[in-house]
Chain A
């Protein structure tokens, strides 16, 4: 990372990138509005899927529909925010393959912020806002006994979840540095992680749950915070403070992702095309 901060004002550089992005995206106005509207669709369908499943059954993994909605909304909120902020890191795959990555690395700005600002998907803003709306409705209708602690938790948990998902996005995109054609492997953990966190982890079983919930830490995005909000004990036996572990888990994930990213950049060899 010899490329960071050599020039007088890196901030001005980032700002220029961001301004250029905003201008270029807003210039196709109709297309932008269509994107803004249809981006909500993905989250709508996630929530709809959970509602359809509850048409068939009254409890899922021991939770009723209002409790499950708290989980799916925490998950949707976290994921949509992370996807808005760093989701486009997925494009590293194409950048590495086409050699555009070289252009990014020779500029006197940090590689990661550049990649994010080169294509900040402003259209995904609508999704994050919709996620927030669902969380508001779900949290207010689930019969939560509000305490100052729980109010704090309902604000902190989605933020920590967003940092966590952001780390997953960055770490899985880094695969492209070692494995140029890594294609969809990352999706198993980003979109797969979103699907995993949308349901109570009691639904899953065996080693699969052990890896996703505790090994990778996905249980702390929505399941444990939701338990703490609802005041329910964990059927799997973790103590009550687990609901408050999400910021810690998020920080650990971010540190791990940063380490993986640094190693990846150092390993990067141009494809030479």
Chain B
């Protein structure tokens, strides 16, 4: 190589097949990486189930107190919302990812930049592998536990299930992009603690994990939905699954999610390009 720039020109465009192979290979390695932490996976699923019970009982009490219908959900819809939500939380992986931030801080990110795949793409592939592993190990246990102890709602319209699966994939990609942006602040701030704390606080409450956002007054949840990406990470797939709205609104919510995914991925690409131009790698 003559001169080395921060990013080697990507292979995309010349031939899509090797690019696709690389992508799936990275996804596969992401999957395998998480499958080695078996005890941690069990521990996580156990915790999700305990929180499933806690939230389910509280929301059912809310619905009982409100005369059977809370925020437009009946008790069976709320039970499904909670239990699938606990499973989805691990798949979407809202919390606890600071790998990129750590690599930027230590300078290891330099070796990521020398690879022929853009960091955004390669970390996305790894994250999809992680999510695939979570679907099998973290999504299934709470989703199976819920119906044993509570009366749950099952979708009645056939397009709901494929739409939910699409919505779930979009939620994973969106969550990844946002976490990538949070991590990338280290390029400028050198410390991720502040942005990460802000992210953790906002994502829990605004994604619909603490309570379904439909419990809020109309103006509040519409604003949150349109102005922030958070509801598109949990609330949207769950609302789609429990058929909270009619089919057109259901599809519209997924459309909104798609817009957020596009915007967030674009932001990742821009931020990454900017960061590479100002990055000074230290260390020996």
Contacts and interface: CB of A to CB of B under 8 A. Distances in A.
Chain A complexes with chain B: yes
Interface of A: 28, 31, 34-35, 38-39, 41-42, 45, 48-49, 52-53, 55-61, 179-185, 187-189, 192, 195-196, 199, 202-205, 208
A58 B65 CA distance: 7
B262 interface: no
A31 B194 contact: yes
A183 B43 contact: yes
B66 A185 contact: no
Contact of B44 (A61, A180, A183): A183
A199 B43 contact: no
B215 A56 contact: yes
B58 A57 contact: no
B211 interface: yes
Given A31-B191, A52-B215, A52-B216, A57 B46 contact: no
B62 A38 contact: no
Contacts of B38: 181
The secondary-structure label for the interface of chain A is: helix
B144 to A, nearest CB: 17
Given A31-B193, A38-B194, A184-B47, A208 B216 contact: no
Nearest to A208: B53
A69 to B, nearest CB: 15
Of A39, A180, A185, which is in contact with the most chain B CB atoms at under 10 Å from its CB?
A: A185
26 contacts: A31-B193, A39-B197, A41-B197, A49-B210, A52-B211, A53-B58, A53-B62, A57-B61, A57-B64, A57-B66, A57-B70, A61-B61, A61-B65, A183-B39, A183-B40, A184-B40, A184-B44, A185-B46, A187-B47, A192-B51, A192-B54, A199-B61, A203-B57, A203-B58, A204-B54, A204-B57
Contacts of B211: 49, 52-53
Given A34-B193, A41-B201, A205-B57, 12 more contacts: A38-B201, A41-B197, A45-B204, A53-B62, A57-B63, A59-B65, A181-B39, A184-B43, A192-B51, A202-B61, A204-B57, A208-B53
Interface in B21-78: 37-40, 43-44, 46-47, 50-51, 53-55, 57-58, 61-66, 70-71
Of B63, B65, B194, which is in contact with the most chain A CB atoms at under 10 Å from its CB?
A: B65
A34 to B, nearest CB: 5
Contacts of A205: 57
Nearest to A182: B43
A59 B43 CA distance: 34
B205 interface: yes
B193 A196 contact: no
A50 to B, nearest CB: 9
A41 B199 CA distance: 11
Contacts of B37: 181, 183
Contacts of B66: 56-58
A185 B51 CA distance: 11
Given A38-B194, A41-B201, A49-B205, A57 B65 contact: yes
B97 to A, nearest CB: 15
A96 to B, nearest CB: 13
A57 B64 CA distance: 8
A272 B133 CA distance: 29
A45 B201 CA distance: 8
Contact of B47 (A31, A45, A53, A192): A192
A56 B63 CA distance: 8
A31 B40 CA distance: 31
A201 B28 CA distance: 45
Contacts of A196: 54
B191 A188 contact: no
A35 B195 CA distance: 10
Nearest to B70: A56
B175 to A, nearest CB: 18
Contact of A208 (B57, B193, B205, B215): B57
A99 B58 CA distance: 41
A182 B201 CA distance: 24
B215 A181 contact: no
Contacts of A208: 53, 57
